[in-house]
Structure 1
Amino acid sequence: MTEVRWGILGAAKFAREQMAPAIHAARRSRLAVLATSDPAKAAPFQAMDGALRVVDSYEAVLADPNVDAVYIPLPNSLHVEWTRRALEAGKHVLCEKPIAMRANEIDGLIALRDQTGLVAAEAYMIVHHPQWQQVRDWIKGGAIGELRRVNATFTYDNSSDPGNIRNAVETGGGSLPDIGVYTLGCTRYVTGQEPEAVLFADIRRESGVEVRAEAMIQFDGFTLTSLTSMRMLRYQSVTFQGTDGVVEVPVPFNPLGYGDAEVRLMRKSGPVEVCRYPGVNQYVRQVEAFGAAVRGEAEYPCPLEFSQGTQALIDMIWAAER
C-alpha cells in the first residue's frame, strides 16, 4: 500500500479544522471521501483538495472500495456503533475520543479488531507528541526521584453554547468524556501505572450533564489530582512532582493552539532543563503513525487496551460520585 486513503464520517468542526488538514499534510496519506449531506459544510473540505469526493451517507463511505481507513468525529454516543460498523465493512478505524462511554463497551471492539486483523484506535493524539515522550523518559528514568504527586488541569468555558453536543446527555456530553481522557490518560501514559482507588470525586452537573469534575486518585506511590471543567477559564497544565525534582508541562494538550510546546525539568541543583518543540503538529504525527500501523511497518502506540484503561478510570470516578 503506497498511501492510506481516508474517508471521514461527517463534516464536524474538529475534522474541518484539525484532522482533515492533518490527513492532507501527512506523508503517504490522502483524504478521498467525506460523508455529509450539507454542501455548505463540504465546501471547506473541498477547498483543501478539489478532488475530494462528497457522499451523502456514512454507509456510502463504508461501502467504498477506494477507502482504506475511516476517521470518525461523530458525537460520543455514536462512536462504538460506527467503529463497529466500519470494522465490519473492512475499514481501519481512527475514532475520536472517547471511543466509548463505558470501559466494557470496548471489549467488543477489541474482539472485532482481533478478528478482522484491522487497525482500530482512539484518536488520542498527545502520545504522538515528542514532549510527552520526553516527560515519560524523565519520569521513568528517575530524573525527579520517586514520583509523589501529579496535578493535571484542563478547563474551558462553553456555557454560551448550550446547543454544543458536549452540553447534552444524549450525545455523551460532559467534561470527563471530552477532556478527562487527557488529564487521566497522560498520567497512565507517562507512568505506565493503573489506579488503585479514587479517593475523592466532586462532580458538578447542569441539566444532568457533568460540567465540572475534580478527583483525587491513588496510584502506587503517588496521587493524581485531576480537574476538568466546561465552565471555567480556558487553561491547561500538568505537573509531576517527585522527591528530587519537578516536571512541568505548560501546554500539555493543545500545542500550536493554546501555546508553544515545551517541558521543564527542575531539580535540587543545577539549571532548569527546557525542551521546546516549535511547529510540531501532533495530529499529523498521529495520522502518520496510524498509516504505518496499517501498512504493517510499526505497532500503533496507543492501542484500544490503553483507551479502555483510561475509560475504566473515568468509570471509577463516576462510581465514586455515587
Structure 2
Amino acid sequence: MSPSDPGATATASALYPHPINPFAPRVRGLYIDDLVVVGHRDVHRPDAGTRLIARTPSFDVWRDDTVHIAHRVGDSSIDDTLTGRIEAELFAPGWLSGNDLFERVFTGLILSARQDPLDAWELFYRNTRMTLAAIIDGRGGMEVTKGLGAFAEIYHHVDRIVPPTGSVLEIGSCFGFLALHLASRHRRRVTASDVSTSSMSLLGALAPRLGICLSTTTLDARTLACPDASYDTLVLVHLLEHLDDVEGRKALDEARRVARRTIIVAVPYEDVATASYGHVRTVCRDDLEQWAVQDPRWRGRVEDFRGGWLVLERVEETGVIRHRS
C-alpha cells in the first residue's frame, strides 16, 4: 500500500506474507503489529532498556526486537505527504529500510490518529483530497500544496485524457485517490482495482463516507480476471515500475486484452528505482516508445509530463476508433 504511488501493491501478495491490517484498532493509543509500534509521543514511551537510534524533526525511533516510533505529527498533517516525510527523515538517512517496514510505519501513523480505524482513514482521505483539489483548482500556494503538487497534476492530466463518459478500470489503485478523482467528475463508471484485498476493502468503505460512487475489485495486473474488451478505458498510472520487465509485459498484454478503446500508462522517470516505494526498475522514454509499437492493433503516442506517458488507442479496420457515450 505505498501511499503516494498508485501501483505500489502490484505484487503485494508476494512481498508481504503477513499483510498489513488497515482496520487494526489502537491498543492503549498505539498501533501495534509484528514489526512496529507507532504512537504520538504523548502516549508512546518505550521501556527504559529500548535503544534510541534516531531523533528527527517528526520522529523518535527506538529499536529492540521491534521498531518503536513516537511521532509529532498533528491532525492537519495526516495526509499523503507523510510518505515524503517518512522517506526523508527515516529511510533516506538509513535509520530504517525496506518497503514492508515503510508501509507499516505509514499505516501506524494514520491509525494512531483516531481510536476508530475508519475515522483515522477518513481524516487521511479528506485531508489529502482537500489538498489535491486546492492544487488542481489553483487555490493553493506552497503552504497548501504540501508536496502533493506532482500527483495533483498527474491526476488532472489523466482526467483530461479519459473520456467523460464510459467505463474506466484503474489497475493498481492502492488508496484510490486517482479513481476517486475520476469518479467524482463527469459521468464515468469507475472501478478501482488492486492486488491487495485490504486496500480495496478500505477504499470501498471510505468512498461512501466521501460521497463518491465507485466500484472496487481485487485484480492482479498480470492476470486480469476480466472478459475481453470489458472496459472502455484502462488506466495504469505509476504501476509498471513496480513490475519487472517480464511482469510488465504481461500487464500490458492483459491491458490490451481487457481495454475496449483506450489504455493510459504513466511512469516516473528515475535514475535509480526508489526501493522504499516498492519500485523494482526504472522506465525511460525509449521503453515507452517500444511499447507504443508492440501491437499493430493499437496506435500509441508518447509524451513527457511529470514523467513519461503512453496513450494507446485501439485501431479498427477503418482506423482509430472514436469514443462513444
Tell whether the structures are fold-level matches, with TM greater than 0.5.
no
Q: Which has the higher contact order (CA 8 A, sep 6+)?
A: 1
Q: Greater share of strand residues, 1 or 2?
A: 1
Normalised by the length of structure 2, the TM-score is 0.30
